[in-house]
Amino acid sequence: MPKQKTHSGVKKRFSLTATGKVKYARPGKGHFLTAKSQGRKRKLRKGSYIAGKNAKNIKTMLCK
């Protein structure tokens, strides 16, 4: 049976922590930054974690 390939889109957007949580950068920091408030942009700097079924699906696509 062939090996499963890592999904290249998921590989670029998500990473796993040492404890196995799925970490990602919050979207919305790409462009149109003048329309967004300083507080909103500051909150977008921090990453976040995905939980539940979505995290399980991402781990499968990362082959972990």
Comparison of pLDDT for 1 and 63, the residue scoring more? 63
Residue 47 lies in a domain: yes
The pLDDT score that the predictor gives to residue 1 is: 81
Number of domains in the chain: 1
Q: Is pLDDT at 8 greater than 90 in this prediction?
A: yes
Query: What CATH number has the domain bearing residue 17?
Result: 4.10.410.60
The pLDDT score that the predictor gives to residue 15 is: 96
pLDDT tens, residue by residue, 42-60: 999 999 999 999 999 999 9
The residue segments making up the domain with residue 50 are: 8-61
64 Cβ contact partners less than 8 Å away, ≥ 6 residues apart: 16
The pLDDT score that the predictor gives to residue 64 is: 86
CB < 8 Å & 24+ apart, contacts of 2-9:
4/63, 5/63, 6/61, 6/62, 6/63, 7/61, 7/62
Share of the chain above pLDDT 70, in %: 100
